[in-house]
Structure 1
Amino acid sequence: MKTENEPAGKTHFGYQTIDKNDKEKMVASVFHSVAAKYDIMNDLMSFGVHRLWKRFTIDASAVRPGNKVLDLAGGTGDLTRKFSEIVGPTGQVVLADINDSMIKVGREKLRNKGYVGNIEYVQANAEALPFADNTFDLVTIAFGLRNVTNKDNALASIFRVLKPGGRLLVLEFSKPQQEWLNKAYDFYSFNILPSMGQAIANDKESYQYLSESIRMHPDQDTLKSMMENVGFEQVGYHNLTGGIVALHKGFKF
C-alpha cells in the first residue's frame, strides 16, 4: 500500500514508475478508452454494490437545499444527479472531471434524464481547481483520488475552495480489513476484472491499470493523515464492504 514517498520527479501509474509529467496523459488515455462502457462496467465489476456505496456517501453528505456542491472526478454523474435533486433550484452542482470524454458521457446522460437547471460542467485538474477560495459547501471525489498525480496538492486545492464549515467526502477503494477478503479481492482484481474489461469494453489493459491503481492507493489511516496534514479537521472514515471501499470525511473550519 502506497504512501506519497516517491522518487523525485517520479510517480506511479499502476505498478509502473513513470515521470510525473507523463501520468496525466496516461490516465487520460485510460478514461478516454473506458468512458463509453464506464457505467455498465461499474455495475458488472461491483455486482451493483457501487450504487450502495454512493447512496451511503450521499446520505453522509448532509447536503441541503441551496448548497453549492463540487462533484470532483464526477465522471458520468451518479452523485451529481442526486445532489442536483437535493440542492434544488436555489443550489448548484458542478460536475468537474479532468477527462473530457467522461464529461461528455455524463452531460449527455444527465441531460437526457432532464437534469438541466442547476448543473454546471467543468473540465478541471484536481490539483489546481479553477474556482475561487471558499466557494463550495461540499466537495466529493468518488473513485478519482487514486488517479491524481499528487494527492497532497489535490487535497490542498479542495481545502482552498471549500467554505469555512464545508466538508470533503472521499469515496475510494481501500484496504480490506480481513486477510481472507484481501486475498479473495486480489484474485478477483487481477484474474477476473481485466478479462471482464476485455470481454465487455475490449480493453484489458485499462482495467489492469485500474486494479493496480487501487493497490497503490494509500490505505485508510494514511489517507486520513494526508487530509489532516493539509488542514482538514475531525477527519474520520467508514469502511464499506469490509474495507474494500472507505468513505473519508473531513471539515474545514
Structure 2
Amino acid sequence: MENTTHFGFKQVATNDKQSLVRDVFNSVAGKYDLMNDILSFGTHRLWKHYAITSGNIKMGDKVLDIAGGTGDLTMEFTRQVGDNGQVILSDINTTMLHEGRKKLTNKGIFGVEFIQLNAQYLPFKNNTFDCVSIAFGLRNVTNQDQALEEMYRILKPSGCLLILEFSTTNSVLLKKIYDFYSFKIIPKLGDIIANDKTSYQYLAESIRKHPNQKTLKNMVLNAGFDFCEYHNLSSGIVALHKGVKV
C-alpha cells in the first residue's frame, strides 16, 4: 500500500506532496508579499519582528533562514550579523528564491547566500549555525520530524531554532471568526487579487492540519533539542517556538 500524507484536507501520495507544494508557491510567488499584507492586515510584519528579536543573534553569527521565501527575516538577520556574519536564504522553490533575491537586491542588501534545498536534507555539516529559522514553512514540509532532526544536527551547541507558524487558538469566538475568514474570504481574495483561489484554499487548509502548540513543542524536544518554549501571538493564531541545543 502506497504511503500517503495530507495536502491540505486531501490525502495524497507522500512522494507527490513536494511537487504539489511547489506548484502552489510557483503560482503565488509574484503576489506573495502583497497577499501577506492584505490577508494579515499587515500583522505578519509584527509576528516576524517578534521572531527576529527572539533569536538573540549577535554580530558575526551564522544564520540559516529555511523556507525564507521573499526574505523578510533574512533582511533583518543580515543587519544583526553584520559584515563578519553570514546569512543564508534557502527555499525549496526556485520561484520564491528568485523573488527573495530580487527583493533584497532592490533594497541594497548584498552578501546573502541563496540556496535551493529541502528542509529534510540540509546540505551542511554538523554544528554549523548559530540560529536556524523557518517562518510559515514547516507546515508545508512532508516529513516534519526529519526536518527538525536536521535542524538540530546543523545547529551549534547553544544555537537556537525559531519556528514561526500558524497555530491553534483556544478562543471559541475567535476560532469561529477565523474559520469563516480562512475558508470564505481568503480563497475569494486569492481569486480576485492573485487569480488563484485553489492555492489559497490549500494554504488555509494546511494551517488546520499543522500540529498545535504543545504537539509541536514535543516534536522539537523529540528531535533532540534540550529546551523548547512557545509564545502565542494574536491569541494563538500564530505561535513562535524556540528550541535550544545545549
Query: Tell me, what secondary structure is at the counterpart of 1:187?
Result: helix
Structure 2: gaps spanning 5 or more residues = none
Deviation at 1:17, TM superposition (A): 0.6
Residue in structure 2 matched with residue 189 of structure 1 by the alignment:
182
The reply on whether 1:53 has 2:50 as its aligned counterpart is no
Deviation at 1:196, TM superposition (A): 0.4
Q: Can you list the C-alpha shifts for 1:89-121, whole angstroms capped at 9, x where unaligned?
A: 00000001000000000001101111112x100
The reply on whether 1:27 has 2:24 as its aligned counterpart is no
Residue in structure 2 matched with residue 180 of structure 1 by the alignment:
173
Residue in structure 2 matched with residue 226 of structure 1 by the alignment:
219
CA separation of 1:136 and 1:13: change in aligned 2, threshold 3 A: same
Q: Can you list the C-alpha shifts for 1:186-237, whole angstroms capped at 9, x where unaligned?
A: 0000000000000110000000000000000000000000001011122110
C-alpha distance in structure 2 between counterparts of 1:212 and 1:233, whole Å: 31
Deviation at 1:8, TM superposition (A): 6.8
C-alpha distance in structure 1 between counterparts of 2:245 and 2:6, whole Å: 29
Residue in structure 1 matched with residue 38 of structure 2 by the alignment:
44
Query: Tell me, what secondary structure is at the counterpart of 1:168?
Result: strand
Deviation at 1:59, TM superposition (A): 1.0
Deviation at 1:183, TM superposition (A): 1.0
Residue in structure 2 matched with residue 68 of structure 1 by the alignment:
62
C-alpha distance in structure 1 between counterparts of 2:33 and 2:40, whole Å: 11
Q: What are the within-5 Å matches in structure 2 for residues 229-244 of structure 1?
A: 229-244=222-237
The runs of at least 4 consecutive aligned structure 1 residues that moved more than 2 Å come to none
Q: What are the within-5 Å matches in structure 2 for residues 93-242 of structure 1?
A: 93-117=87-111, 119-242=112-235
- Corresponding letter in the other structure for 1:69: V
* The one of 18, 25, 42 aligned to 2:12: 18
Deviation at 1:177, TM superposition (A): 1.9
- Corresponding letter in the other structure for 1:90: N
- Corresponding letter in the other structure for 1:236: E
TM-score normalized by the length of structure 2: 0.99
> Number of residues paired by the alignment?
246
